[in-house]
Amino acid sequence: MSLLRRQLNTNIANNIETRDINELKSKTGNVYESIAVIAKRSNQINIALKEELHNKLDEFASHTDSLEEIHENKEQIEISRAYEKMPNPAILATSEFMEGKVYFRKNEETDLFH
């Protein structure tokens, strides 16, 4: 299932919501780690949506430079509008994180202070 269809099937608001810092902290033990996980997931969503949109729009691409062949394609416009109406990737990532749908692990590197 495409990301567009999957995101349209969820009931995620398109508005930013205030989040409880303690709730964010409880997921990883550190607020900043939680924000880093959300940011990385948001970037993954953004890249996937961008690729998906470009692949769909490439189907309509004209490889000629003739002015007669350039015209408005209603399907192409509707696809673009649907992606514009989707919630921001950061909102989607935050929602996934808070619902426990994001898999992450800590990279236990050597502590620099010891």
CA of 112: how far to CAs of 10, 34, 109, in Å?
A: 42, 21, 9
Q: 20 is written with which tokens?
A: 């409880």
CA of 59: how far to CAs of 22, 56, 79, in Å?
A: 46, 6, 12
pLDDT at 114: 45
pLDDT along the chain (114 residues), means of 10: 58 79 92 94 92 84 58 75 86 91 77 46
Angstrom distance (rounded) from CA 80 to CA 102: 27
The pTM of this model reads: 0.74
Angstrom distance (rounded) from CA 91 to CA 38: 9
